[in-house]
């Protein structure tokens, strides 16, 4: 039998290749995908998050863990889907607002959310409010993530939030904001539901907003 | 006044700066896999990174506690709303150096190629590398500016950029308008984003009595400054 603690260790240490190998071995042994995710992988990511918050590891290690988690999920989720099991814990549309071409922060957040079991629809950069509304409506998303890296583009986040109110969708979707110049105060000022300043805290914030423990 | 390419080997790039930007300090060092990726990236930098730097020295004067008026060429002045911190840092200046520094278009193309590998770890490291390269290019530029000014008996202040110290990012348009016609290698989008993305613009004061004062992050009230946000 496969030693499943090695799966936990592989995710924790961000070793994608090992995570994939152990996941495949575990499945060959008859392990249930959901059990692997719940009992080993999510717990490993929880420990990764704890170490990151305590500044024992830093962004690269956080991303490596998320990458390893995603690599295993890519094996497990199709199996779960084929047996009718739920494969994501929430759906998120994410994008960088109009006028802003930066995408690294957005991509980090998207990657961590995917690694933690969310379905992420990344609509890209330089997106206007209509596109955000259209995407959330089309995908029936639970959460919208808005990113901006410039002080000149961050006010557009309020334009997007106002567009959701105008479209009658504001109470249907939680909206979180982030990016270098964005602060918790600014998020509250423009009526966002949440704010995060790291990819890790974005996961925590989204889980809190959706009541996921 | 001129803008020119420099070799990657010429800029004072410090790996420790890259580690620090990612949060590592003291006993913490990156994972061995991360270090290996960075080593691989640095190995190709001499081929893919051609930083471009330059400055234009213009006459000007501090006109009150928050504004500097500089010669914009053609007899016209450009009023910069630099805010109290920057204006005070330059209040003895007689001349002003308007500068740009960029990791360069070749680096941008390499960065895009890395991003298209869809490996988030590599993408993050390449972006961080670019940010440190741009800052290192500014350091080289300042060394050369200081040497040029010293030859004229002038001292140089620290450098300041729009987006910091109460100086709004939109003022970047005014700065680059002063450099209009120069081959900076940089263009500005309508939202004031510089392309190539790993670029810096700014100002430094020069004069016989100019002093290099410490940066004023402790007294800056700019709520959305990345250097200040964590202190609020």
The predicted complex's ipTM stands at: 0.85
- Please name the helix (run of DSSP H) or strand (run of DSSP E) that holds residue B100, with its range, or none: strand B95-102
**In total, how many domains does chain A have?**
2
Is the CB of residue A138 less than 8 Å from the CB of residue A132?
Answer: no
- Flag whether pLDDT at A134 surpasses 60: yes
**Together in a domain, A75 and A97:** no
Query: End of a domain among A59, A82, A105?
Result: A82
Q: CA–CA separation, A30 vs A24, rounded Å?
A: 10
Same domain, A132 and A171: yes
What DSSP line would sit under B114-174, residue for residue?
HHTTT-HHHHHHHHHHHHHHHHHHHHHHHHHHHHHHHHTT-EE---B-TTSTT--GGGHHH
Q: Both A204 and A147 in a single domain?
A: yes
B111: which 2 tokens? Answer: 């960065």
Q: What is the pLDDT of residues B179-208, one digit of tens each?
A: 987 899 999 998 888 999 999 999 999 999
The rounded distance, in Å, linking the Cα atoms of B171 and B187 is: 14
Do residues A168 and A206 both lie within one domain?
yes
Question: Could you tell me if A148 and A184 lie in one domain?
Answer: yes
Beta carbons of B90 and B106 less than 8 angstroms apart: no
CATH number of the domain enclosing A66: 1.10.1240.10
Q: Within this chain, do residues A44 and A97 fall inside the same structural domain, yes or no?
A: no
Q: Which of A51, A82, A113 is the last residue of a domain?
A: A82
In our burial notation (b when 16+ CB lie closer than 10 A, e otherwise), range B119-129 reads: bbbbbbbbbbb
Q: Hey, is the C-beta of A111 within 8 angstroms of any chain B C-beta?
A: yes
Mark whether A138 and A190 lie in a shared domain: yes
**In the listed set A55, A82, A109, which residue is the last one of a domain according to the structure?**
A82
- Its domain, for residue A172, covers 91-210
What does the alpha-carbon distance between residue B176 and residue B153 come to, in Å, rounded to a whole number? 27
β-strand B95-102 against B52-62: which pairing, if any?
A: antiparallel
Closest CA to A63 of A43, A49, A42: A49
B 127-186: CB under 8 A from A: 127, 163, 168-170
* B33, B123, B190 member nearest A64 (Cβ): B33
Find residues 15-54 of chain A whose CB sits inside 8 Å of chain B. Answer: none
- Based on the fold, state whether residues A103 and A195 are members of the same structural domain: yes
- Give yes or no: residues A148 and A173 share one domain: yes
Note the pLDDT tens digit of each residue in A30-63. Answer: 999 999 999 999 999 999 999 998 989 999 999 9
CATH classification of the domain holding A141? 3.40.50.280
Q: If residue B73 lies in a helix (H) or strand (E), which one and from where to where?
A: strand B68-73
Say whether B34 and A151 touch across the interface (CB within 8 A).
Answer: no
Identify the residue among B161, B191, B197, B232 best suited for mutation to test binding to A, counting A beta carbons within 10 A and taking the highest: B191
Whether residue A105 sits in one domain with residue A54: no
Residues A46 and A120 placed together within one structural domain of the fold: no
Each residue's pLDDT tens digit in chain B (232 positions)? Answer: 689 999 999 999 999 999 999 999 878 889 899 999 999 999 999 999 999 999 999 999 999 999 999 988 767 789 999 998 899 999 999 999 999 999 999 999 999 999 999 899 999 999 999 999 999 999 999 999 999 999 999 999 999 999 877 788 889 999 999 998 789 999 999 888 899 999 999 999 999 999 887 776 666 666 666 665 554 4
Looking at the complex, report in whole angstroms how far the Cα of residue A196 sits from the nearest Cα belonging to chain B. Answer: 12
Q: Which domains does chain B have, with CATH numbers?
A: 2-231 (3.40.109.40)
Residues A75 and A103 both lie in one domain: no
> Measuring CA to CA, which residue among A213, A205, A65 is closest to residue A145?
A205
């Amino acid at each position: 039998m496969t030693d499943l603690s090695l799966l936990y260790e592989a995710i924790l240490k961000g070793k994608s290749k090992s995570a994939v190998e152990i996941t495949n071995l575990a499945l060959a042994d008859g392990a249930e995908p959901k059990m692997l995710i719940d009992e080993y992988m999510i717990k490993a990511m929880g420990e990764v998050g704890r170490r990151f918050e305590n500044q024992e590891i830093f962004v690269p290690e956080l991303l490596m863990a998320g990458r390893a988690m995603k690599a295993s999920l890519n094996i497990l989720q199709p199996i779960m889907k084929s047996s009718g099991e739920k494969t994501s814990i929430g759906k998120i549309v994410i994008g960088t607002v109009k006028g802003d071409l930066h995408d690294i922060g957005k991509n980090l957040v998207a990657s961590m959310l995917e690694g933690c079991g969310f379905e992420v629809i990344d609509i890209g950069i330089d997106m206007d409010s209509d596109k955000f509304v259209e995407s959330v409506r089309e995908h029936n998303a639970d959460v919208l993530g808005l990113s901006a890296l410039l002080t000149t583009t961050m006010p557009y986040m309020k334009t997007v939030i106002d567009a959701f109110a105008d479209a009658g969708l504001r109470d249907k979707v939680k909206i979180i904001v982030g990016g270098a110049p964005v602060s918790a105060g600014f998020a509250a000022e423009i009526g966002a539901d949440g704010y995060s300043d790291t990819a890790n805290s974005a996961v925590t914030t989204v889980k809190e907003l959706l009541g996921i423990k | 006044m001129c803008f020119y390419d420099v070799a990657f080997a010429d800029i004072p790039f410090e790996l420790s700066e890259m580690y620090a930007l990612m949060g590592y300090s003291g006993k913490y060092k990156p994972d061995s896999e991360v270090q290996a990726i960075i080593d691989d990236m640095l190995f190709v930098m001499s081929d893919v990174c051609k930083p471009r730097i330059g400055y234009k020295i213009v006459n000007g004067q501090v006109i009150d506690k928050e504004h500097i008026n500089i010669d914009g060429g053609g007899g016209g002045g450009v009023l910069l709303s630099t805010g109290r911190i920057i204006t005070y840092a330059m209040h003895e200046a007689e001349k002003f150096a308007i500068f740009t520094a960029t990791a360069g278009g070749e680096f941008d193309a390499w960065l895009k190629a890395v991003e298209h590998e869809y490996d988030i770890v590599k993408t993050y490291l390449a972006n961080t590398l670019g940010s440190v390269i741009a800052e290192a290019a500014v350091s080289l530029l300042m060394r050369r500016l200081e040497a040029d000014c010293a030859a004229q008996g002038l001292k140089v202040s620290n450098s300041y950029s729009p987006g910091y110290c109460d100086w709004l990012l939109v003022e970047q348009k005014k700065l680059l308008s002063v450099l209009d016609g120069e081959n900076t290698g940089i263009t500005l989008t309508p939202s004031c984003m510089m392309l190539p993305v790993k670029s810096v613009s700014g100002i430094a004061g020069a004069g016989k009595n100019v002093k290099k004062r410490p940066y004023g992050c402790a007294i800056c009230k700019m709520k959305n400054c990345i250097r200040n946000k964590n202190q609020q």
